[in-house]
Amino acid sequence: RKEVEQDPGPFNVPEGATVAFNCTYSNSASQSFFWYRQDCRKEPKLLMSVYSSGNEDGRFTAQLNRASQYISLLIRDSKLSDSATYLCVASEGYKLSFGAGTTVTVRA
């Protein structure tokens, strides 16, 4: 079983729409959680950390449910530039476990 599971998508949404997706993690010892963004053939870049209380960064909102081992990401008012693959990450200490990513395509 993969440590981090994500719906691969793709999620095709029009500009301005809201899109949400989630992931689950299997390692209950995971301590920190992140969403990374990866553009085609590029390295992943940190989008935001995820906290139990939920947190927001501009148009992006992340939620963590430790009891269900579930992490979500919501993107409001989608822009064309939001088109990318979003990687869910759980970490135990220094070790990062990546999901395979959810692909989002925002169309004009």
Report the interface residues with other proteins, using CB under 8 A.
Answer: 2, 4, 8, 32, 41-46, 87, 91, 94-101
Residue 18 Cβ, how far from other proteins at the closest point, in Å? 26
Looking at the Cβ atoms of 20 and 46, the one nearer to other proteins is 46
Looking at the Cβ atoms of 27 and 76, the one nearer to other proteins is 27
Looking at the Cβ atoms of 2 and 107, the one nearer to other proteins is 2
What string of H, E and C letters represents the secondary structure of 41-106?
CCCEEEEEEECCCCEEECCEEEEEECCCCEEEEEECCCCHHHCEEEEEEEEECCEEEECCCEEEEE
Q: How far is 41 from 63, CA to CA, in rounded Å?
A: 28
Residue 34 Cβ, how far from other proteins at the closest point, in Å? 9
Residue 24 Cβ, how far from other proteins at the closest point, in Å? 14
AA identity, residue 18? T
